[in-house]
Structure 1
Amino acid sequence: MERQSTYTATATIDEQGILTGWSDGAQRLLGYDSSAVVGRPAAALLAADAAAVRRILAGRQRWNGTLPLRHRDGRSLELGVIAHHRTTRTGAADWLLVSAVTARAQPPRGEPLEEWTFLQSPFPLAIFDAELRLVRANRRMEHALALPEAAMRGLRVVHIVPGPASEETDRSMRQALEAGRPQEVRARLGPDLGGTAVLTPLKDADGRVRAVCLSTQRPAQDTTARPRPPGEAGSPVGTAADQARAAQELGEVTVPRLADVMAVDLLDSPRTDTESGRQRAPLVLRRAALRPVPDSAEPVPGSAVGEAVVCPPDSPPALCLTAGRPLLYDTADPGISAWTELDPCAAWLRAFETRSLLAVPLRAQGGTLGVALFGRHRGREPFGPEDLRLAEEFAAKAADGIDQARAPTRTRTTTTALQQGLLPHTLPEQAALEVATRYLPAATRAGVGGDWFDVIPLSGARVALVVGDVVGHGLRASATMGRLRTAVRTLADVDLPADELLSHLDDLVLRLAADEGSADPSAEAAGGIGTTCLYAVYDPVSRHCTLARAGHPPPAVVTPDGTVRFLDVPAGPPLGLGGLPFEAVETELPEGSLLALYTDGLFEAREHDIDEALDKMFAALGHPATSLDSVCDRVLTELLSHRPDDDIALLVARTRVLHRDRVAAWELENEPTVVARARHLAADQLTAWGLDEAAFTTELMVSELVTNAIRYGRPPIRLRLIHQDSTLICEVYDASGSTPHMRRARIFDEGGRGLLLVAQLAERWGTRHDRIGKTVWAEQSVAGTGG
């Protein structure tokens, strides 16, 4: 295989396992051009069991390791791959596979002192070459990204951590390289890698820029951070300490009784037997305990407790986890001696003149948790069979303790995964509102709750905003939230008024409570009784906003002149009480108004009184800001003095307006001859908008909808056209409340094909009921720019 230069091979695979993208680098690496593989199952390129690969990837957001792939000429290639599970801009989920092909097997190393400084720096450091490909990463960076240097080498930052933050960092890195001056960029590249990244150009003796160094330090307190993905840092307070305590107890009972020095290194998440047997890349562990003989006064060299430990594939810890059984070593053996001499993570063995080394896997019901290392110095007999038996016994007890300490984390991780899966990953495209959101899970052991937000495009260019809060925490609250969010979207799709939507949601909560109460009478807040919800619909044509709430805090609004106030929306009862009405109100919002919807956790997290908290929120909302993200961050910064005890959902929206030049409306006579006039009116308006190519389709839809209104509806009859970006909406209103139904006409029927024709011509269509009458609408995409 040609390896004369460094390049990156990428491929994308959808959730059904079909290849949807294939880069030039992938073609160069495996020999297939894109036309030969795109659209085919990715399993066809695997030189391994596809089912086993799917099992490895199941439930993960990222995976790195070695995959055997089949070259076009029939060869099998073992390639190091990073796989990212991501959500695309369209909202679909897929996998991005990245593999770097680099001519340089190992990056250049400096003098020992320089090397120690780089590797042991308390700040994450990474060096990227002139092509912005990673060549070096220190221990802190490996730990922050949860990836070994070898897996990242040769990749650009956009492939290591895909996303907008890495794209911005990549652009700033290019500026540092070209301008020769340091750059700063505020970007969150990972849960443990946030704040300001400093990009420093590295110059040779002649002043030429040869590389860029990325360094960053996570802020001590970052209250504006978005929620972390499941399985990453951020477990409840005490869980990590409980695990460390269980690991340290192993040292207390084995040193000096069994060993002279002992270390426990843990995986971030348990491994199954299948995963443990496939370790081909450097292994990243976290040191949980390190205990020498009690009379050792000198500081122990190497990785300290809590720091990352990167083990090469042929090191004793990695081999022990791969084999899944205890392994005994003499440190005088050439392979072990080279490891202890070269690897800083093994410096503690060298410092204590360890001669005999015993590596024991820590196994529990949850899988393999990590490895315990026991060492004896030269003045003591090497480990024997009885020592091995005792070490396994002690390690098994310690593993049970660590597994029990991790139980709250596993529960929280499952709940967080469910919560994150049910919340919207991307906001839908719509032109009526500019929207920014934040969601912060609770920091308590009770786990995340059932707070949610949503943005739902509606007919007529309108948009619905939703914020809700389910009572309780944990899996039950998250599952109930998912049910209610789905119900709201379903009810919104049929264009129910805000108060009627909450009434239907109230009925649903009562039914859920009855079902759950019969199955578990002791269930807390069964079915979501006590849930609060705020539902708002904004119309960019009329600038009217209709709102209704069920026991939820009122929304705040900021008008363009800077005035901040609460909207006077009748509170209504929380959901699940039954029989009590909800009331909707309508208000007109000037263009550029700011709406803030939130859950009550925003105020409960504050230690000061509610009046002060309200003043802080009003000041934060009214302060001029360049973006809505800045508004969200300012609100959270002002109101949160510590991690919240309850979930917080925050949604901020700025109103836009569809002006008269984008809307055309006519009132039509209730007689058949008006259909031709309606077609001409529509055609003339499309010409004025520069949409002549859409005239034929639009005239057909207008003709059918107006005919339907005249034949089956009641006057007045109104026709309205809305041109919004690349969308054209046709609406026909009449005063009849009857809903039109599409049916298939028989061969000799003279009519009955109107709505069927509209459904075939439009991308979306439906009926919207008003207090009096209804509107039948149809939406289509248009290519013209409009005038």
Structure 2
Amino acid sequence: PGRRHVPRAAASARHRGPDALRAHPAGDRLGTGRAGPGRSAHPGPHRLPGPRRASERRPDQHPVRRVRRRPRAPPGRRNAGSDVRAGRRGRGAAPGAGDRCAAGGRVPSVRRRGSRSAARCSCRPSGRAASKGTPAGVVALYLDTLGQQRVRRDLALLHRTATRIGGSLDVVRVVRDLADILVPAFGDLAWVDLADAVPSGDEPPRLAGGGELHMHRAAVAAAGDAPWPAHLLQPGQPAPPVPSSATLRAVQEGRAVLLDREVVADVLGNDESLVRLFVPEDGHSGVWAPLFARGLVLGNITVWRTDQPDPYDERDADLLAEIASLAALSVDNARRYTRERRSVLALQQRLLPPPAGDQPAAETAGLYLPAGEGAEISGDWYDVVPLPSFRLALVVGDVAGHGLYATATMGRLRTAVRTLADLELDPVELLTHLDDGVQQLTRETDPDTPVGATCLYAVHDPVTGRCVLASAGHPPPVVVRPDGTTEVIDVVPGPPLGVGGMPFETAAVDLEPGSVLALYTDGLIERPDGDLDSGVRWLADSLAELCGPGRSLDEAGRALMSRLDDAAPRDDAALLLARVRAIPADDMAHWQFAADPAAAAQARQAVAEQLAAWDLEEMAFTTELIVSELFTNAVRYAGGPVGLRLIRGGALVCEITDPSNTQPRLRRARWTDEGGRGLFLVAQLSARWGCRYGRHGKTIWAEQPLTPAPVDLASLV
């Protein structure tokens, strides 16, 4: 007891002491260092595994030389930090390991990446070696770090995946980035297949087994600059039907599987034509993992190694499964965002008028450009409202905020504008009523939810050629004259809707036939530097170039939108273009009469003659009856002078103007009433009728189609 067994070879080596250390090849280059991969068979106690590497330290600074020069510990004490005894196994050492090394045994040759170090042995030798105080031996420690490096590589790949694809809300961009990440870091060829419903935002069908997968190749990546192999399924092509198999069902259940040519052939029923679509020519090992999120299989990822010699193992399959899990969440988030964005965009487009229109007053074209990726739909809108007497109202507005709430608010404001426009209010009065409505909305909603909007309202009269407009905090419109010159209309912007407290102001501009009036939202002229004036100048110059006489406004508007920066706009943009027209003088007739009941006959005579000149004799009876009733009411209740105007366009419009501001009322007369049937007759004989107020009096108008339907006079009694 108490005696130690020291193998003979170890004892022999021990007594060599410093001579053995000095004789060790490159002894002053031993020390802590990291060895590259290599194959070695290292006999003896002094041979370090793996290739040696020269140290960058000077010999006198090397740790081994420092150890060799360290003073010997006092007798009976161990050197600090030394736990190794010559010829004795350390803790955790395998039995006999020291014996085999000391006896010159060989460690099996393997491929490793590791680090090595050398240290002094602390022991109690006897004899000459002890008296000289020299170290008794060297301990060489080899640590295999290949596993640690693999873990670091895997973590770096996971981190790169999360940071690159986690912030995108575009399904196609997510899967393309995913394929680029995997090649060449994880394999030589990679592709991502997606369910057909995913890019549009819909949920994919829940599949079990083979058959039609309803998938397509969404993204591919090849190592280096190599083109995608022509025999493989190409981007955009649908995946062919495949038979059911256990491997396919495992992937559909959310598990990753290892692949080789034999496994793929078994999955595809040994159909060589299908195998050629899914296996690269030099592919010797692959991994197949599903994009599985929230119970849905959104697609799958497949990675193959062709040039990299090492085959995939279970750890690689687990790594790809974890990458696929991260990617699946990003794909599903992008899919759900696409669905919500598409729903809001569809709602907004349903609330907007048709993109192109043709009215007697103007040719119109409206365009809407949603914001770029990651931005919610806002409340930009435009509208074209036909008014009586062939006038045309043009509206553009922008609701504060984004998302479904802004879209819903936009719908309410557009409805309110159309309702107020039908009342034929002037622009200032209309914006005043609209401002009151927005303030009411503000009081009804959450204080933290912004409610507000800007709006520009313009009315063009093709009879006079004048456009009257007012602005509620909106950018000014641009006019392109027939000769190509441009003008920014100087309209004083009032406060935005919902602010209140300040009146709105009216601006008027005369527009020649063929002039193009452009109304827009600020998203069209915003610039990164915040200079809106330069944006307005760019818009005016572009319109002057694009809105030529022979070009449709819809085509010009699309060309203008295409000139925006390639970067996705930060805000929605709406554009409304109107090429104005004028009613020819030959299609109008105007008379003025005194407030005399006898003048009614003169008015009827003038109407009959004018209709005959227009070849509209078949409309003479109904038109004379309408004129007689309206003229008599004006003489009786309003006084004179009384104006009469006929306008021929897509319909025949009859207008009676008087100096009174009294609103006429339609009522159903009783059998015993002697009057009260005039407006009722007008309503029955015309397609529509109404009243509007001006600066001096009012105008009652009635509109008839140019091809009137037969009138049943008995039904009027």
TM-score, structure 2 normalization: 0.63
Aligned partner of 1:596 in structure 2 is 518
CA deviations on 1:650-698 (whole Å, 9 max, x unpaired) are 2222221102110112113323333333233222211111122222322
Counterpart amino acid of residue 779 in structure 1: E
Find the aligned partners of 1:478 and 1:576 in 2 and give their Cα distance: 17
Counterpart amino acid of residue 745 in structure 1: A
Cα distance, 1:562 vs. partner?
3.7
Find the aligned partners of 2:263 and 2:241 in 1 and give their Cα distance: 18
Cα distance, 1:573 vs. partner?
1.4
Give SS of 2:575's match. strand
Q: Which of 214, 224, 236 matches 1:283?
A: 214
Find the aligned partners of 1:249 and 1:527 in 2 and give their Cα distance: 44
Give SS of 1:471's match. strand
Find the aligned partners of 1:608 and 1:390 in 2 and give their Cα distance: 46
Say if 2:277 is the partner of 1:352. Answer: no
Give SS of 2:400's match. coil
CA deviations on 1:96-135 (whole Å, 9 max, x unpaired) are xxxxxxxxxxxxxxxxxxxxxxxxxxxxxxxxxxxxxxxx
Say if 2:199 is the partner of 1:268. Answer: yes
Counterpart amino acid of residue 218 in structure 2: R
Find the aligned partners of 2:209 and 2:629 in 1 and give their Cα distance: 64
Find the aligned partners of 2:584 and 2:372 in 1 and give their Cα distance: 45
Aligned partner of 1:459 in structure 2 is 388
Aligned partner of 2:661 in structure 1 is 737
Cα distance, 1:310 vs. partner?
0.8
Q: Which has the larger radius of gyration?
A: 2
TM-score, structure 1 normalization: 0.58
Q: Which of 578, 591, 602 matches 2:500?
A: 578
Cα distance, 1:565 vs. partner?
1.9
CA contact (8 A) 1:679 1:699 kept: yes
Aligned partner of 2:461 in structure 1 is 539
Aligned partner of 2:161 in structure 1 is none
Cα distance, 1:411 vs. partner?
3.9
Find the aligned partners of 1:376 and 1:762 in 2 and give their Cα distance: 80
Change (3 A) 1:751 1:521: same
CA contact (8 A) 2:193 2:216 kept: no
CA contact (8 A) 1:555 1:566 kept: yes
Aligned partner of 2:403 in structure 1 is 474
Find the aligned partners of 1:757 and 1:298 in 2 and give their Cα distance: 82
Aligned partner of 2:58 in structure 1 is none
Alignment of 1:313-332 (within 5 A): 313-314=241-242, 331-332=264-265
Change (3 A) 1:277 1:656: farther
Aligned partner of 2:488 in structure 1 is 566
Find the aligned partners of 2:212 and 2:694 in 1 and give their Cα distance: 63
Change (3 A) 1:541 1:395: same
Change (3 A) 1:431 1:282: farther
Q: Which of 703, 707, 715 matches 2:628?
A: 703
What's the C-alpha RMSD, in Å, of the aligned pairs? 4.4
Give SS of 1:604's match. coil
Counterpart amino acid of residue 394 in structure 2: L
Find the aligned partners of 1:302 and 1:699 in 2 and give their Cα distance: 80
Counterpart amino acid of residue 628 in structure 2: S
Counterpart amino acid of residue 664 in structure 1: A
CA contact (8 A) 2:191 2:217 kept: no
Find the aligned partners of 2:180 and 2:615 in 1 and give their Cα distance: 74
Find the aligned partners of 2:467 and 2:305 in 1 and give their Cα distance: 75
Counterpart amino acid of residue 617 in structure 1: L
Say if 2:687 is the partner of 1:763. Answer: yes
Find the aligned partners of 1:297 and 1:577 in 2 and give their Cα distance: 59
Alignment of 1:24-173 (within 5 A): none
CA contact (8 A) 1:533 1:550 kept: yes
Change (3 A) 1:702 1:337: farther
Find the aligned partners of 1:299 and 1:634 in 2 and give their Cα distance: 35
Aligned partner of 1:685 in structure 2 is 610
Give SS of 1:512's match. helix
Aligned partner of 1:650 in structure 2 is 575
Aligned partner of 1:667 in structure 2 is 592
Give SS of 1:466's match. strand
Percent identity, aligned pairs only?
Answer: 42
Q: Which of 447, 462, 471 matches 1:521?
A: 447
Cα distance, 1:737 vs. partner?
1.3
Aligned partner of 1:42 in structure 2 is none
Find the aligned partners of 2:297 and 2:353 in 1 and give their Cα distance: 34
Counterpart amino acid of residue 473 in structure 2: G
Give SS of 2:364's match. strand
Find the aligned partners of 2:374 and 2:320 in 1 and give their Cα distance: 33
More strand by share: 1
Say if 2:269 is the partner of 1:341. Answer: no
Counterpart amino acid of residue 437 in structure 1: G
Change (3 A) 1:757 1:402: same
Change (3 A) 1:291 1:446: same
- Structure 2 residue runs of 5 or longer lacking an equivalent are 1-166, 709-717
Q: Which of 223, 237, 249 matches 1:309?
A: 237
Find the aligned partners of 1:704 and 1:303 in 2 and give their Cα distance: 83
CA deviations on 1:478-510 (whole Å, 9 max, x unpaired) are 222222111111111111110000101111111
Give SS of 1:757's match. helix
Cα distance, 1:639 vs. partner?
6.0
CA deviations on 1:615-665 (whole Å, 9 max, x unpaired) are 433333334723234543565466646432222222222221102110112
Give SS of 2:690's match. strand
Counterpart amino acid of residue 452 in structure 1: W
Counterpart amino acid of residue 740 in structure 1: P
Change (3 A) 1:738 1:260: closer
Counterpart amino acid of residue 730 in structure 1: C
Give SS of 2:604's match. helix
Cα distance, 1:544 vs. partner?
1.2
Find the aligned partners of 2:699 and 2:502 in 1 and give their Cα distance: 29
Q: Which of 424, 430, 453 matches 1:495?
A: 424
CA contact (8 A) 2:652 2:706 kept: yes
Change (3 A) 1:668 1:640: farther
Cα distance, 1:765 vs. partner?
1.9
Find the aligned partners of 1:423 and 1:647 in 2 and give their Cα distance: 14
Q: Which of 337, 344, 347 matches 1:415?
A: 344
Find the aligned partners of 1:486 and 1:764 in 2 and give their Cα distance: 20
Aligned partner of 2:478 in structure 1 is 556
Aligned partner of 2:415 in structure 1 is 486
Aligned partner of 2:643 in structure 1 is 718
CA contact (8 A) 1:364 1:399 kept: no
Give SS of 2:681's match. helix
Q: Which of 679, 692, 696 matches 1:772?
A: 696
Find the aligned partners of 2:401 and 2:700 in 1 and give their Cα distance: 41
Change (3 A) 1:653 1:306: farther
Change (3 A) 1:555 1:538: same
CA contact (8 A) 1:538 1:546 kept: yes
Cα distance, 1:719 vs. partner?
1.7
Find the aligned partners of 1:602 and 1:747 in 2 and give their Cα distance: 62
Counterpart amino acid of residue 666 in structure 1: W
CA contact (8 A) 1:437 1:651 kept: yes
Cα distance, 1:465 vs. partner?
0.8
Find the aligned partners of 2:237 and 2:584 in 1 and give their Cα distance: 61
Change (3 A) 1:251 1:616: closer
